[in-house]
Every structure is written in structure tokens, then in C-alpha cells.
A and B are shown apart, each in its own frame.
Chain A
């Protein structure tokens, strides 16, 4: 009887640990965050959380700093994503050919990805130091004017994008290389017969065939770039003068520096909806593209 029950419910029993894990580590925090976002709570033992309804959301939508953070987030994300995709595909094309030492080169390319982001942030902070940093020394030796990099309100986001591109372009290259290895060879043979140039083969055969792969790579990066925290926190902490304060950083400041837990949760809920929306949109685009092929 007992074995029967066990057999009948096998599919539930084996998935139970996974279900519990998801409930405890993912569903519970999200539901709890949504709940807190309707309260005013300053992490105080003497004043319990107070129900304020949508007040946190309304306050955020009226908050100039919130919209500034939305802008900074998108500026950073779009710039990083475009550069990483273009460079990533280019590197993948370069590395896809056979040459001596290919494996060593591939390994070297992956190194930035495995470095600890905070340690890397600190290294880049030194590189970007306007008076004694390596970045300006190189610019000067090439005859260019030195820049302020992270210390300038207009240069800070592009400077941070460079760090992100340095760290994460290899990931796109890696995914695209995997995609390249699955491409069929007959279209290329046909193109050779027709006398197509290398560039024509790339734009008319490789890119269209790679499109689903690239979209997957972009989607993975999109989610990660949107929530970039460690690089920014360890270099500028959102500065100078809030110029690099993205949504994630503002959420951290609201929660752990201002102790406005309700407002921080509301921000994260809005952010969550935004990320979900963008991801769903990309999945939709991908399906449309696949259907049209």
C-alpha cells in the first residue's frame, strides 16, 4: 500500500525539493516585497509598518530622482547592449576560424567574465583616476586631451559602459560562436558558386541564420545589464551628483541608506514589472522572427 502511494505520487515527490526551493527563495521574497511596498516602514522596532496603500508608488512617480534613475538605467543599458552585441558578433566571427593558439585566445577572452565585479570596479577606479590613472596616461601619450572619466557627470555612464563591455562582450561572443558552429555549410557553397564576397556572405547568410542566437544572447545580457549594481556601486556609488544612479542603485539607497523600506520595495516592484515587460517583448519578437523564417 505504502509503495503504491509512493509510486502513484512519484512525480510530486521528486519535484518537491525544487518546488519548495522556488517557493521559499523566489516566490516568497517577491510576494513579501510587493506586500511591503504598500507600507511605510523604516526598519524601526518602535514604529510598526503602517499601511499607506499606493502612496509609495505615487511618491516615486512624482520623484524627479526616480525618473533620473530610469533615464540613467536606459542610457546605460542601451549603450552597453549595442556595443556588446556588435563587438561580440565581430569577435565571434574572428575567433570562429581555425588558427594556432585559438584555445589560449578563447580562454583569455573569458577572463574578465570570471573576475569578481567589485574587485574589478576598484581596479577600473584606479585606471580612470584623472591625474595618475593609466587611461589618461594612454590618452596623453597618443596626443589626446585627458578626460575626467568617472568624475564627470557627462562622461561617467560611457566610462561605466566601457567596463561593462570589457567584462561581458566575451559572453555574447561565446554564445554567437556556439551558434556559428551549428550553421549549415550548403548556403555558403552556393554563395561561393555565385561569386559572393565575404561581406555579402556575412550580411545575407550568416547574420540572418544567426538571428535567433543573437536574440537569445541579447535577451540574457539585457536582463543582466538592467540590474547592473556592483560595477557602479564600487566605482561611483551613483555619483558624481547622482549622474550614474540607476534604478538598482536608487533602490539600494532608499532601502539601506534612507531606511525607507516601503518605497524601496515599490521601486523594485516597478523595476520588476519593467524587466518582465521587456523580456516578454523580446520573446515575442523572437517568436515572430522564427515564424517568418
Chain B
């Protein structure tokens, strides 16, 4: 017998039954929807309504939960929260939406990983019109790049809640001892990495993600900074000379100056070995900085420096993306109530409150306030602000089958690290990526 086969069908079945029940509950409430219009003026326009919210096990979810009573008090709505691990969250939502469920009303999602799939399947409600209803919401305050990440085919699929940029982590003490300035360009970085690389003393020059699929998001800033991208005008472009230069820089750094075992590293392992004081330079998202600066997790907590991603031929172009967004179920029975919640959760006050707990938001006005940046190390703040200025709004190929596309592109770096011909590897990956794009277009 095959356990995973049984499990798969079992999950499907229970999900069908459970959501059937839930959908029944939700639809029975629709008659009340008509009252919303005239109810606006009343003190508690959504009195007695129930809203389901699904969050990931993410610091943002932890930050919002204690604030929910405020919202319930203000609107009279009851918010029911469910939380899941990241991977389970995607599976749960996918299965639930496939059955056409009306719950959850509002959910956290990863715009660049699932946005295309969810939106093109008609699972999320476009929010463009909602954001224009209330001028005090000030949607123009959201960083353009962050909004770009949650936009699919010109429509707004979700509201950005967590933003991320790729930055350069470095060891202040090592650079000082060796008399090296903080690298501003890719060439300077490579030179500094070579100088500090000393494997005999278990000190390695550079670390970043080496696992096939996870590395794709981090190699993206290398691509953009060389003037390349994964896809341009529906054409796969991972075998252009610029792209190949970026892939080979990344592969060379990992292969020649990385710690042993880099092939099995995603960010937890990579930042783990950086925090153990064995690596000089590390590039990854700024959002995981606490793993390096928290003395409980890091032996070099007071020696970590942050810098803007080094520039290549096209200058410094790190990704500047929305890693988590808040979206509305297209089948929700309480769309106005759901919007009321999204509006509240992404309002200036609440973004300030969640950002103070270390959740980098997308509202520029909050970043400009001194009290908006108290949740971050003082020397990280200017780096974040600088990275927010330019930046590319995606960090992976934006297709429906993101997982498949990431595996195809990641193979280029792995083959290069294995000493295979990188041009041939890039050509193969380009063909595979083009096939994925063409399949998407056929839908």
C-alpha cells in the first residue's frame, strides 16, 4: 500500500466534506449582506458578522493576533484565526479553493509563489476598486515595487504586508582587520571574498543558498544587477550572456569560496553557518537578520554589518518584493466585511504597530517615521531604505508553475558547480522555462 497516495486522497476527501459544511454555514448568512449599505453610518456596522482569517506561522500573524480585539471592538465583527506552517498553508488553501469554498474570507499568501496560480484560477478577488473607496486609506503610500509583486495581469490580487530586499551581510571585524572597504560592486565583493577566504582556518569567503529551488530567489539580484531577468516579454531569457555571467559569478563564489556542504543549504543552514562565525560574506533577504544579530543564535551578533547589494554592470538592483500579502477569497460571502478587515490590518496605524515588532511593511510613510523603524538595528534601516528605492518587484520567474520553473532555473547553478558547461545548462533551462511560459499562455 502506498501511504502518501492514501493520504492525498484522504486529505482531499476530508477537505471536501469539511469545506462543504463550512460553505453551507457561510451561504446561510448571505441575506444579511443587504444590510451592510445602510449599516455604515451606525457605530458597529458589522455587528454579529464572523470573519475567518488564515495566517501562516509567521511573526506578522503573531503581531496581529493581540490587536484583533481592537478591530472586533470597533466593528462588532468576530474574527476567527487559523494558522498553518508555510508549506501546509499553500496546500490547505489550494485544496480548499479547488472545492470552491467560501472560507477563509481573508488569508495570507506568498504573492510571487502562488499569486499567479491563485489569481488565474479565480480564487482571489481583485482589490483595485476597494482601495479607491476610502481616501484616508492612502493606497499611494504603499511602495510601488511592493504593489508590483501583488499585481497579476494589471489587477491587484492582494495587499502587501511583508516586504523583503536582498542585502549583503558581512563581518565588520574581519573587514577592518584586513583593511577592506565594504564592497559596493560585484568585482569588489569577489576580490574581498578571495582575500578573506582561508579554509585551513575554517574561515570561508562567501555563503548563500545552494539548494536547487531555494537558491533561485537569491541569484535573482545577481541577474538584475547584470542587466538580465528570468523572463522578458513572455520569452525565457536565462541563457543571455548577462544571465550566464550572473549565474557563473554565483556558482563560482559558492563552489570556490563557500563552506563545505553548501549544496544542501537553504537559508536556515546558510545563515546558521554565518552566525557561527565561519563566513565573511553572505547574501540573502534582510528579513532574516535576527538569526545573525540575536546573541542567543549567533556567536558574532555584535560583528554583523549590513550593506546594499553590490552593483554589477547594470548597477545595484536587488529584488524589492512583497514576500507576504493579504488577499480576499473571491467566493467569500462577506466581501465588504473582508475588505474592512484588510483595510484595517494594512492601515497606517496597524502597519506601524506590526512593523515595530520587526515586520518590514510596505508603507513608505511608516518607514519615514522615527518610531516606524524601532524594530530594526539602526545600521540596517538606511540599507533597507536605500534598497527600497530601486529594486525589482519579483525574485523568481513569475509564472503559474513557480515550483517547476524554479527547479529548471536552479539547475543552471548546480550544473555549473558540478563543472558542467554552463552555456549548455542555461540553454536547457531556457527551453524548459519557455515551455512553462507557453503552457501558462495556453490557459
B418 at the binding interface (Cβ < 8 Å)? yes
Q: What are the residues of chain B within 8 A of A129 when measuring CB–CB?
A: 261, 269, 273
Q: How far is the CB of B46 from chain A (nearest CB, A)?
A: 28
Q: How far is the CB of A63 from chain B (nearest CB, A)?
A: 12
Q: How far is the CB of A89 from chain B (nearest CB, A)?
A: 26
Kindly name the residue among B9, B122, B276, B400 whose own CB sees the greatest number of chain A CB atoms within 10 A.
Answer: B9
Contact with B along A10-24 (1 / 0, CB 8 A): 000000000000000
B123 at the binding interface (Cβ < 8 Å)? yes
Q: Are A268 and B264 in touch, CB under 8 angstroms?
A: no
A216 and B13 alpha carbons, distance in the complex (Å): 33
- A46-B404 contact given A29-B6, A227-B2, A255-B8, CB 8 Å threshold: no
Q: Are B263 and A153 in touch, CB under 8 angstroms?
A: yes
Q: Which of A95-103, A205-213, A256-264 contacts B (4 or more CB under 8 A)?
A: A256-264
Q: What are the residues of chain A within 8 A of B263 when measuring CB–CB?
A: 148, 151-153, 239-241
In the complex formed, the residue of A with least CB distance to B100 is A45
A251 at the binding interface (Cβ < 8 Å)? yes
Contact residue among B123, B211, B259 (Cβ-Cβ distance under 8 Å from A45):
B123
B121 at the binding interface (Cβ < 8 Å)? yes
Q: Are A132 and B276 in touch, CB under 8 angstroms?
A: yes
B135 at the binding interface (Cβ < 8 Å)? no
Contact with B along A252-281 (1 / 0, CB 8 A): 110111110000000010011001000000
A149 and B260 alpha carbons, distance in the complex (Å): 10
A77 at the binding interface (Cβ < 8 Å)? no
Q: How far is the CB of A88 from chain B (nearest CB, A)?
A: 22
A257 and B406 alpha carbons, distance in the complex (Å): 10
A174 at the binding interface (Cβ < 8 Å)? no
Q: Are A132 and B3 in touch, CB under 8 angstroms?
A: no
Q: Are B4 and A229 in touch, CB under 8 angstroms?
A: yes
- A148-B212 contact given A25-B6, A45-B122, A132-B273, CB 8 Å threshold: no
Chain A residues 207-255 with CB under 8 Å of chain B are 223, 227, 229, 236-237, 239-242, 248, 251-253, 255
In the complex formed, the residue of B with least CB distance to A226 is B2
Q: How far is the CB of B442 from chain A (nearest CB, A)?
A: 10
Q: What are the residues of chain B within 8 A of A150 when measuring CB–CB?
A: 261, 264
A187 at the binding interface (Cβ < 8 Å)? no
A148 and B123 alpha carbons, distance in the complex (Å): 44
B117 at the binding interface (Cβ < 8 Å)? yes
Chain A residues bordering chain B, tally (CB within 8 A): 47
Q: Are B414 and A241 in touch, CB under 8 angstroms?
A: yes
- A248-B401 contact given A45-B123, A131-B261, A240-B263, CB 8 Å threshold: no
Contact with A along B203-229 (1 / 0, CB 8 A): 000000011100000000000000000
A9 at the binding interface (Cβ < 8 Å)? no
B5 at the binding interface (Cβ < 8 Å)? yes
- A236-B264 contact given A45-B123, A129-B269, A241-B418, CB 8 Å threshold: yes
Q: Are A29 and B91 in touch, CB under 8 angstroms?
A: no
B10 at the binding interface (Cβ < 8 Å)? yes
A251 and B5 alpha carbons, distance in the complex (Å): 9
Contact residue among A32, A152, A153, A258 (Cβ-Cβ distance under 8 Å from B403):
A258
Contact with A along B117-148 (1 / 0, CB 8 A): 10011110000000000000000000000000
A256 and B117 alpha carbons, distance in the complex (Å): 13
Question: Chain B interface (Cβ within 8 Å of chain A)?
Answer: 1-6, 8-10, 13, 91, 94-95, 97-98, 100, 117, 120-123, 202, 210-212, 259-265, 269, 273, 276, 278, 400-401, 403-404, 407, 411, 414, 418, 443
**13 A–B contacts from the bound complex (CB under 8 Å):** A29-B6, A29-B8, A33-B9, A45-B98, A45-B100, A130-B260, A131-B276, A152-B263, A240-B212, A252-B4, A259-B403, A268-B2, A268-B5
Closest 7 CB pairs of A and B: A29-B9, A151-B261, A130-B261, A240-B263, A257-B403, A151-B264, A130-B260
